[in-house]
Structure 1
Amino acid sequence: MIILPPGEAEQMGRLRLTGVEQEILRYKQQSPVTYRYGSIGELEFELKTRSAIVEAARALHASGAKFATFKNSRCNEELWIREQNGGFRLRSGVTPAEGIRDIFRNGRAYAFECATAMVIVLYKGVLDAIGEPAFNAYFAGLFLYDWKYDSDLRIVSAMEAYPGDVLYFKNPDFNPMTPEWRGENGILLPGGTIFAHGMGIRTPDEIIALLNTRRRPGSMTSAYQTDDIETLDFAYIQRLKTVTARIGSRVYAFGW
């Protein structure tokens, strides 16, 4: 259920939405969970940003970027510095928008694991939602590594999953020879499919089946989809379009 300020609920029917955005709106309206918005503009921004994240996930899938462990990661070193831990640090003089867009334009020059892929997709969605000037102001000094991200990419837990959210599949009996397959992160797409870097665009059952091929030999313990759902704080991200950027940045770490 969606709750808007008095007099604004009737404006939902006048929003110019894509099919993806209409699907998200319909499911939120039908949900038993209450979603409160400060304005119709706040709701519209969330829908548009979720759509941008979905498009970014599809674009990364099509970019030619490969899956790799941290040890074997690679990047376009004209724009990024590859650190010893396998992470990528933006070079001085390169804007954050340039760095992120290059991953999608020159994907074959890049290889990274699935958590980094999720952060890259979220950054690209936010870039498209708030525009280049605001993105460059708030996300200076980008460092891409695992589930580490700038504090202004505010990620929070959610009760329900909608397109643009991050889901997690756990492989509890993973083969110790390939610990990178202990689990898989994925961006939920419309229709219930998922973009999982290294696996492609798959159904949840297909992701579980692929993880099961990477279990400890002889194991009968299946991988499974967890209840973890990560989403953006869309109301906060929207404010980045208008609020003066602070100087410097902090890094939050999500995950294990």
Structure 2
Amino acid sequence: MIIIRFPDSASGQMLQNLSGKQKEIYNELDNSLTMFEYDTTFQLLFEIKLRENIIKAALKLKEASVAFTSFKYSRFNPVYWTKGPRGYLLNPNVLPSDAINDIYENGQEYAFECSTAMVIIFYKAVLDSIRLSDFNYLFRGLLVWNWNYDPDLAIITLEGNEFIPGDVVYFMNPDFDKPIWRGENAVVLGNGLYYGHGIGIGTAEEMIKALNTLRIQGSTTSAFMLQQHSRLNFKYLSQFSK
């Protein structure tokens, strides 16, 4: 359910004109049993656009030729990033926007696992949704690996199984063969589809089926989707909108 405290007619007209993925996101928010509250219609429109950009960033990453691997064998373009014990740190005098865009433009220079992919997708979507100067100010000194992220990215993880396109969910694989396949983080694309770096695009059933091929020999314990989801603090980020 959507609740807007101070709706305005101009933004309201924009809501009426939504189409495609944006309309799908609006309907999912409005039909949800969860209450989505906004101070203004603009905040709602910003969330819809940013969620759409998360989906776009996920699909672009799929096409970017980034390899899937563990931290031991990972790589980032050394022009922009330096590897340390906890992840890849932005090099001095490098703009965060340039470093994030390079992952998409030179994907063959990168190799990482699925949780890192989710955070990078979030960064790319925010970059495409807020003012460039604000992005470079907020995210200077980036450290990227696993679920390391800047506090201004404002990721929130909630319990429940009501997912909205642009959320991130987790498929757990209890009897994994190799630690890198203990589970798969995935972006909710809508229409029953998910994107996970290392597996690709598929339904929940297909994600689970793929993970079940990566269990220890003889296991009969199936992978499954956790009843939780991670999303950005859209209301906070809306103040930096383009």
TM range (shorter): over 0.9
Call closer, same or farther: CA 1:182–1:238 in 2, change over 3 Å.
Answer: same
Matches within 5 A, 1:1-256: 1-5=1-5, 7-8=7-8, 12-15=12-15, 16-85=17-86, 87-158=87-158, 159=160, 160-175=162-177, 178-241=178-241
Deviation at residue 201 of structure 1 after TM alignment: 1.1
SS at match of 2:230: strand
Aligned AA (1:21): Q
Structure 2 residue ranges without an equivalent (≥5): none
Deviation at residue 106 of structure 1 after TM alignment: 0.3
Aligned-partner Cα distance in 2 for 1:95–1:226: 36
Aligned-partner Cα distance in 1 for 2:41–2:201: 32
Deviations, residues 152-206 of structure 1 (Å, cap 9, x unaligned)? 010112442111111000011112xx11101110011021211100111111111
CA contact under 8 A between 2:82 and 2:89: conserved in structure 1? yes
Deviation at residue 131 of structure 1 after TM alignment: 2.5
Aligned AA (1:167): V
Deviation at residue 8 of structure 1 after TM alignment: 3.9
Deviations, residues 228-253 of structure 1 (Å, cap 9, x unaligned)? 100111001112449xxxxxxxxxxx
SS at match of 1:3: strand
Aligned-partner Cα distance in 1 for 2:91–2:139: 13
Deviation at residue 31 of structure 1 after TM alignment: 2.0
Aligned-partner Cα distance in 2 for 1:219–1:56: 35
Deviations, residues 84-108 of structure 1 (Å, cap 9, x unaligned)? 45x2111111100000000000001
For normalisation by structure 2, the TM-score amounts to 0.93
Aligned-partner Cα distance in 1 for 2:135–2:18: 24
Call closer, same or farther: CA 1:8–1:73 in 2, change over 3 Å.
Answer: same
| Residue identity (%) | 42
Aligned-partner Cα distance in 1 for 2:9–2:35: 14
Aligned AA (1:90): L
Aligned AA (1:109): E
Aligned-partner Cα distance in 1 for 2:181–2:6: 49
Deviations, residues 26-49 of structure 1 (Å, cap 9, x unaligned)? 122222222111000000000000
